[in-house]
Chain A
Amino acid sequence: MGVRMMECPKQINEWIHKYLDGDISEEEGRYLKEHLHSCQKCMKHYQELEKTVLFVKSLSHIAAPDHFTQKVMASLPKEKRSVGVQRWLRNHPFLAAASLFIILMTGVLFSSYEESRFSVTKYDNIIVDNNTVIVPEGETVKGDITVKNGDIEIKGKVEGDVTVINGEQYMASAGQVTGKVEEINELFEWLWYEIKTTLSEVFQK
């Protein structure tokens, strides 16, 4: 070819940019290469553009200033409370379980404290004397008797179950209970009893 002065193809500039964008076809690329090697002016243009790109890319990265995130967070509107609770539960499963346990235990202890008073299923023909329930001789109680925090003496007949919670039952020789007799004294025994009754109630339904 030699040093022949020739008009640069109109598309050369476009091809240079396409090339810089990684957007050029194989054929165009070949023409471009050929031309750049034979035309100093276009080669210079291409090199200047390439240098420009490198300059811009060389700009160092600048990190966001300190406390950027905190400042953004401080500018936000308040979040819904329910989300806060849910997230707390998710982030602190152990604390959540522990506090649930404490709440339940307090409930149990409190209610058992509440129930540390004497009580008995009411029937007309039984005698209550100083936290002791007496089923007198010759009397018949038709139904279950539950005594809490007291004792029971059975001299007559009970046509049903007798349950004593935190107390004792004395059965006279003439005494008679047609159902079950149960004594529940310990807290956990009592809990177990509660669970059993609840369950049997559930299953009976």
Chain B
Amino acid sequence: MEEFVKKKIRQIKKGDQDAFAEVVDLYKDKIYHLCYRMLGNAHEAEDIAQEAFLRVYINIHSFDINKKFSTWLYRIATNLSIDRIRKKKPDYYLDAEVAGTDGLTLYSQVSSDIAMPEKEVEAMELQEIIQKEILKLPDKYRSVIVLRYIEDLSLQEISEVLDIPVGTVKTRIHRGREALRKQLRHL
């Protein structure tokens, strides 16, 4: 697989667009799924996934063939998703500390009150609930959770994708898991 991709990238570097189409076919589902879980919206996910592949093509000359291609691709797609999240950010962040509450975030205020009526919970598909809760995560936690549990990347790979130390990846995963736990434990 890695060898196949390397061969294709050499061809793309020479300007071969058919080789690029093969690489897009190979990764499109993973990248689209990543964007979908990051953004929670099919239209935006397609938009960002398309943009990610376009960036790959345009910047292919700066890609070092000895590095892992998927890591680079994930990085581009994750960064574009985060940019998009930040552009459409609401007026406040759920994880922003509420002034004067000493470490209390809107999360902790909101979580217990918003417990939905049982019927509604039953009606809403479990999948939608989980997706909704992921979307409530601040982008730095959301990206590690999605990369770890949706894309099944190792801690080491996530550290390379996001260009942060493995220790930081762990901390973010721990916090992301805790935040999700608070929302999903009643299910």
Contact = CB atoms under 8 A, between A and B. Distances in A.
A71 to B, nearest CB: 6
9 contacts: A51-B184, A52-B185, A55-B187, A56-B130, A56-B134, A56-B145, A56-B150, A63-B29, A83-B17
A49 B181 contact: yes
Interface string B138-154: 00000001000110000
Nearest to B37: A59
A2 interface: no
B170 A65 contact: no
A62 B24 CA distance: 16
Contact of A68 (B15, B49, B173): B49
B28 interface: yes
B64 to A, nearest CB: 22
Nearest to A61: B33
B111 to A, nearest CB: 13
B7 interface: no
A101 to B, nearest CB: 26
Given A62-B32, A64-B28, A76 B177 contact: no
Contacts of B174: 17
Given A23-B170, A64-B28, A83 B130 contact: no
B33 A83 contact: no
Interface in A20-66: 20-21, 23, 45, 48-49, 51-53, 55-65
B108 to A, nearest CB: 16
B127 interface: yes
Interface residues of B, number: 43
Interface of A is mostly: helix
Interface string B30-74: 011100110000100010011001100110000000000000000
A139 B36 CA distance: 97
Contacts of B170: 17, 21, 23
Contacts of B29: 61-64
A5 B50 CA distance: 57
Given A64-B31, A73-B21, A73-B24, 4 more contacts: A17-B177, A56-B145, A59-B127, A76-B54
Contacts of B14: 83
Contacts of B28: 64, 68-69, 72
B33 A69 contact: no
A72 B32 contact: no
Given A56-B150, A63-B32, A51 B24 contact: no
A69 B21 contact: yes
Given A64-B49, A83-B16, A51 B32 contact: no
